[in-house]
Amino acid sequence: MRDPMAVLGRFGRQLLVNDVALPDQQALANIAFVPAHDSTPGAIAAAQVAARYLVAAGLGRVAGDPEIIGDLSAIDSTLVTLASVADAAPPVVHLYFATRPYGASVDIVATANPDGWAEGRSRNAHVCTAAFEFGEPCEPVDASLVGAVVAELVTEHLLVLSPLPAVIRFAWPDDAEPKVYRRLPGAAPEGGEARTGSRLPPGLFAEMRAATDVLPPIFDDCLAQYPNEACGLVVRKPDGRLETVVCKNLQDRYHALDPETYVRTARAAFKLNVRKIASLEEAGDTLVSIYHSHCDAGAYFSDEDVRSAAPEGTPLYPNVGYLVVSVMGGAIRASEMFHFDDSRGGFAPES
């Protein structure tokens, strides 16, 4: 059995840190957290463990799945249970636990900026993906490890002890002590060059926001398709106007035909009809952006998004921006535009 302390002892502190002033610990009571998960037993158990750790650490408000938050008041009688996710005003932490073929992943979105959160801009949030690479799908026996580590990351971040990394990976080649890889926001990926200069196409997202008829249909589509991912296009018409083209997510159709190749369903992936792009261009339109939603996850460009947009490290559509919309519990929570940046050799947010 994997020992959670092999991880905690390697990189962390205990959840209630002795050298942190008590007022700082009490400040956790102002934080709301929203746990969510896929339907697998391992993810559910890990979410339950993390929720218990976080309530014990002092987080004071909670919303989300009744299966997770049902008996948390037994740990802290002052815990406030919110009626809905929409009532979880900032500061707030969203967690999404998922079982993966390699183990488990947890998406963490934290923000303490009420105005920025209302704007729906992920630049005002801290986004982290934690990957636990067991070599096999996560089981309930692994829940104590996954839940404890995530609670540790969140608590250290909220107590301003250690910032959330952009990515953190725990890899077990066997039952020995794990290898831990942590990448902070803006740092280079493994084997990559440092991110210094940037040559991003400026202002596409700002232009889309200024055009009052472009983003609303995108957000409407993302809400209508939840809890599945939505997808579509933004094109520039011959007269220069931007126009949104809502498309059907074909992922479930491909998954049904070939589940071994297309492992994910529309809950966690999207597939566009590329013939639609060709037909629009034949009609004189220019593709400027592809949008899709993340359900109960942050507005970040995931590894899967990168593989789809640039399968060999070269973007399929070099001059196209990728808009990601975060939908949490049926509400739009964040959105961000990503471009392929030659100076960084990868995708980076426009903001």
C-alpha 49/C-alpha 266 separation (Å) is 27
The answer to whether domain 4-183 has CATH 3.40.50 is: yes
C-alpha 282/C-alpha 289 separation (Å) is 17
DSSP string, 228-242: SPPEEEEEE-TTS-E
Going by pLDDT thresholds of 50, 70 and 90, the confidence category of residue 176 is low
pLDDT surpassing 90 at residue 265: yes
Task: Compute, in degrees rounded to 10, the torsion defined by CA atoms 310, 314, 319, 323.
Answer: 20
The stretch 286-314 carries a mean pLDDT of: 89
41 or 59, higher pLDDT: 41
Return the domain boundaries, the chain. Answer: 4-183, 204-349
Strand spans (E) along the chain:
32-37, 61-62, 80-81, 92-100, 103-111, 126-133, 167-171, 179-183, 231-236, 242-247, 286-295, 321-328, 331-341, 346-349
Going by pLDDT thresholds of 50, 70 and 90, the confidence category of residue 141 is confident
74 or 278, higher pLDDT: 278
* Number of CB atoms found within 10 A of residue 78's CB: 9
Please, is 77 exposed, middle or buried when counting C-beta atoms within 10 Å of its C-beta (0-12, 13-18, 19+)? exposed
Q: What is the pLDDT of residue 12?
A: 38
350 torsion bin: left (phi>0), alpha (psi -120 to 50), beta (else): alpha
Residues β-bridged to residue 80: 61
Nearest in space to 169 (alpha carbons), one of 133, 135, 205, 204: 133
14 contacts 74 by C-beta, under 8 angstroms: no
- Per the prediction, the chain carries an average pLDDT of 79
pTM here? Answer: 0.53
C-alpha 35/C-alpha 55 separation (Å) is 12
- Domain 204-349: top CATH class: alpha beta
222: its two tokens? 């993302």
4-183 shares its CATH topology with 204-349 = no
pLDDT surpassing 60 at residue 200: no
Going by pLDDT thresholds of 50, 70 and 90, the confidence category of residue 46 is very high
